[in-house]
Amino acid sequence: MSLKPKEDYIKIGFCTDNINEILSLAESHYGLDTRREDGFHSSHKDTRAALLQFNWALEDRNEAEPIYLLYRDLLEPVLNKLKNKYNYSNFSTWKIVIAELEPNGHIGAHKDTHLSFDLTHRCHWILKTNKDVVFKVGDSTLPTEAGAIYEINNTERDHEVFNGGSESRIHVIIDCYNNV
């Protein structure tokens, strides 16, 4: 049974705590580890990412990258919102990535296909955006506002992003699940 939302996306909440601190900290971490850009049939060629937790295999899913320690307290408010939303007995994260999409950058339409995506909720926390960002999931276009937290149906719906603005768009992407 899919744990994905029946809708293209759902809004989980809103959090602006520590956004500026995370944005400035991440500046020195983008692009250090290019596993994400190098994979996924080039849909991420216009992005740079800071990988805080980037696991694929079930047995590795609780591993974190060393830089995660720098962000752990800063992410606590948003992780608490996700915990409250899903109300799992053992809420855990499988991937946490801070992803920057450059001006005029495009992530082409795709579905996410991997076991790790089937077993997690794909949540986006918007840190920085602009009025010319278009984020489509299925037939919907997400309203984008810094601070908004969404879950998207990333396995069953095509999703696509275009940043038509002159500044980068930055999201924290969190894959979470019940670790039982």
* Nearest residue to the partner Fe ion, using Cβ: 112
Q: What is the size of the binding site for Fe ion (CB under 5 A)?
A: 1
Task: Check binding of 8 to Fe ion (CB under 5 A).
Answer: no
- Side chain identity, residue 161: V
- Contact in structure between 175 and 123 (CB atoms under 8 Å): yes
Dihedral in degrees, nearest 10, Cα atoms 10, 14, 17, 19? 60
Is 112 or 175 the residue whose CB approaches Fe ion more closely? 112
Is residue 167 classed as helix, strand or coil in its secondary structure?
A: coil
- For the record, the structure tokens of 104 come out as 């005029």
Residues 46, 65, 100, 112: which binds Fe ion (CB under 5 A)?
Answer: 112
- Segment contacting Fe ion by CB under 5 A, of 55-63, 77-85, 111-119, 143-151: 111-119
List residues bridging with 163 in a β-sheet: 133
Is 100 or 112 the residue whose CB approaches Fe ion more closely? 112
In the complex, the residues that contact Fe ion under the rule CB under 5 A are 112
